[in-house]
């Protein structure tokens, strides 16, 4: 017996025929449309090989490789390409330690040699030029840069900011006398003051012997905030050192090792310094010392220059409110990178830069010129300072 009855079989055959016929009709319609399109295009196409059709000519030319032209600009001629070199150099100088690897020194030097003249002129006129730097082997890109590396380290140059007051000191007027005493003279007369800075790490100091050695002032560490804990502690020798200076006629300034990460903590630190003086009037400044911590993480390492500048200003306002002079301490690199010196005009600076001379171009009041000094009355090495302002006469 068949699986289909006659009617169903006939219906299936009819459906198949209709589908086949529909497909043939559709195919013929498509072919007719294509033939019509081709005919229209042939009718429109001119007989001059498209030479007078600008649209077609332009389209065909763009498919070919364009020949070199003296009127075309290359990436080397566009100054904005050089911005990436600036950033690379800047990041490299920040990341690479003071003992830079030889290969990175070479790479940095090659980048500088390839820098275009347009980039140099742009840097000089840019408000942010003081944040750009290059690392060289003692070679200066221009005469308007200074080295921010410490003594003995590979040079690292940054542009001088014309908006920051210069120190106007004459290098030849500095001289070392009595073994390790750095002086500054004008018209043949010494106008500087010899001092030291000490903390508990200098042990017990014979201040009578220090006075006889010619020390005029001492910067005493009053305390510190823990760089990880954030706790404030008094320097173990501060009270003893303060009394020793007062008893022997040595002028005093104090400094606080700050790890403040906001203005509230800065106010707390300044208030702590004032309270620790117990009403004693000192002639030299109360100093905000926010140095970097080597080989370890620390609370303030991620602060921006704007944040640290505002933190110092909060510290300074408290100090001034109590009738003392505020001061900021820092190395050349810290002053160039970690604070906005342009917004710190009017504040005294304690420059931490060892050596008989310094390349630091801006104004400073005191400079720590040695961390290996010898002074009678102190066992071991001590930091030596030169002061260029007569705080005792203020």
Annotate 332-349 with b (16+ C-beta within 10 A) or e (fewer): bbbbbbbbbbeebeebbb
For residue 151, the model assigns a pLDDT of 78
For residue 242, the model assigns a pLDDT of 98
Q: What is the DSSP letter of 218?
A: E
For residue 132, the model assigns a pLDDT of 27
For residue 143, the model assigns a pLDDT of 58
For residue 255, the model assigns a pLDDT of 98
Pairwise CA distance, residues 53 & 44, whole Å: 12
pLDDT averaged over 10-residue windows placed end to end, the chain, 394 residues:
39 43 46 45 41 32 32 28 30 30 37 35 33 30 77 90 94 92 95 98 98 98 96 98 98 98 98 97 97 91 97 98 98 96 96 93 97 97 97 80
For residue 52, the model assigns a pLDDT of 37
Number of CB atoms found within 10 A of residue 240's CB: 15
For residue 150, the model assigns a pLDDT of 84
Tokens of 237: 């020798």
| Residues 350, 351, 355, 357, CA torsion sign | negative
Number of CB atoms found within 10 A of residue 90's CB: 17
- Nearest residue to 354 (alpha-carbon basis) of 372, 381, 335: 372
pTM: 0.65
For residue 348, the model assigns a pLDDT of 98
3-state secondary structure of 91: helix
Number of CB atoms found within 10 A of residue 287's CB: 28
For residue 392, the model assigns a pLDDT of 79
pLDDT tens, 116-128? 333 333 333 333 3
For residue 83, the model assigns a pLDDT of 27
CA angle 151, 390, 335 (to 5 degrees): 35
For residue 336, the model assigns a pLDDT of 96
- Domains of the chain, each with CATH number or no CATH: 82-159 (no CATH), 171-393 (3.20.20.80)
75 backbone dihedrals φ, ψ, rounded to 5°: -65, -30
Rg for the chain, CA atoms, rounded? 38
Pairwise CA distance, residues 281 & 290, whole Å: 24
Number of CB atoms found within 10 A of residue 327's CB: 25
Number of CB atoms found within 10 A of residue 155's CB: 17
């Amino acid at each position: 017996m068949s699986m289909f009855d006659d009617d169903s079989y006939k219906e299936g055959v009819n459906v198949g025929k209709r589908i086949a016929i529909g497909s043939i009709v559709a195919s013929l319609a498509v072919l007719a449309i294509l033939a019509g399109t081709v005919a229209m295009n042939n009718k429109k196409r001119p007989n001059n090989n498209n030479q007078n059709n600008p649209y077609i000519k332009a389209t065909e030319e763009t498919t070919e490789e364009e020949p070199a032209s003296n009127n075309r600009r290359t990436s080397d001629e566009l100054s904005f390409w050089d911005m990436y070199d600036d950033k690379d150099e800047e990041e490299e100088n920040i990341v690479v330690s003071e003992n830079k690897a030889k290969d990175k020194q070479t790479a940095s030097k090659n980048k500088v040699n390839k820098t275009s003249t347009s980039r140099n002129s742009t840097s000089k006129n840019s408000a942010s030029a003081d944040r750009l730097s290059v690392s060289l082997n003692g070679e200066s890109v221009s005469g308007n840069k200074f080295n921010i590396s410490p003594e003995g380290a590979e040079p690292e140059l940054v542009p001088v900011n014309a908006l920051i007051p210069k120190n106007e000191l004459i290098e030849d007027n500095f001289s070392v006398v009595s073994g390790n005493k750095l002086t500054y003279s004008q018209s043949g007369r010494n106008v500087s003051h010899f001092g030291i800075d000490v903390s508990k790490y200098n042990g017990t100091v014979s201040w009578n012997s220090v006075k006889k050695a010619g020390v005029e002032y001492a910067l005493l560490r009053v305390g510190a905030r823990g760089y990880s804990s954030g706790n404030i502690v008094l320097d173990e020798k501060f009270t003893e050192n303060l009394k020793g200076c007062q008893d022997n006629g040595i002028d005093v300034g104090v400094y606080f090792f700050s790890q403040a990460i906001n203005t509230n903590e800065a106010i707390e630190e300044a208030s702590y310094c004032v309270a620790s003086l117990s009403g004693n009037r000192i002639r030299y400044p109360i100093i905000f010392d926010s140095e970097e911590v080597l080989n370890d993480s620390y609370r303030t390492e991620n602060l921006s220059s704007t944040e640290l500048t505002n933190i110092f200003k909060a510290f300074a306002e408290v100090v001034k409110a109590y009738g003392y002079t505020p001061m900021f301490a820092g190395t050349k690199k810290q002053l160039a990178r970690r604070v906005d010196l342009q917004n710190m005009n009017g504040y005294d600076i304690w420059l931490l830069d060892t050596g008989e001379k310094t390349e630091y171009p801006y104004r400073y009041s005191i400079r720590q010129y040695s961390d290996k000094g010898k002074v009678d009355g102190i066992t071991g090495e001590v930091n030596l300072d030169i002061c260029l302002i007569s705080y005792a006469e203020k």
